[in-house]
């Protein structure tokens, strides 16, 4: 029996970027490629923030942060990370993390953790509404 002291960290998952509950009942399961994310921008506290815009990496089929200047598939916005994901190397040994993505929803653009450009909005037009 192990009675040693253990600590566990949690973060407050802010979802104020959601414009409504519409679409939150049907998130899509995805695998994130943590190596594509930038620590200071996407997970400054060890958790990839919910609301991060995502693109699908062509090679391997994992997801990374949307980047219109990328050439690996992430230049096309496909959805938004629904729940924050723990990627702190002290707790998570893998560079692949399972998460969930919204592909049909209302977004409060001003509340997103990172901005989405006009090309990204065009990629999801009709499925995701920015308010």
User: Model confidence at 12, in pLDDT bands (50, 70, 90)?
Assistant: low
Can you give the pTM of this predicted structure? Answer: 0.87
How far separated are the first and last CA of the chain, in Å rounded? 53
Residue 95: the pLDDT is 84
Residue % of the chain over a pLDDT of 90: 73
Mean pLDDT to the nearest integer, 95-122: 95
Mention every residue, 6+ apart, whose C-beta is less than 8 A from residue 75. 55, 66, 67, 68, 69, 119
What's phi and psi for 121, nearest 5 deg? -65, -40
- Strands, E, within the chain: which ranges? 28-33, 47-48, 53-56, 63-65, 77-81, 85-86, 96-102, 105-107, 128-130
* Beta partners for residue 106, in sequence order: 129
Average pLDDT over residues 43-48: 87
User: Tokens 């949307």 identify what position?
Assistant: 66
């Amino acid at each position: 029996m192990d009675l040693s002291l253990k600590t566990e960290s949690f973060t407050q998952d802010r979802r104020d970027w959601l414009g409504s509950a519409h679409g939150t009942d049907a998130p899509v399961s995805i695998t994130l490629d943590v190596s594509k994310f930038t620590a200071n921008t996407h997970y400054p506290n060890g958790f990839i923030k919910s609301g991060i815009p995502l693109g699908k990496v062509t090679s391997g089929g994992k997801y990374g942060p949307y980047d219109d200047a990328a050439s690996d598939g992430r230049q096309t916005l496909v959805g938004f990370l629904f729940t924050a994901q723990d990627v702190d190397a002290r707790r998570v040994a893998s560079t692949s993390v399972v998460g969930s993505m919204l592909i049909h929803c209302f977004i409060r653009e001003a509340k997103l953790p990172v901005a989405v450009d006009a090309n990204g909005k065009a990629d999801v037009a009709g499925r995701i509404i920015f308010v």
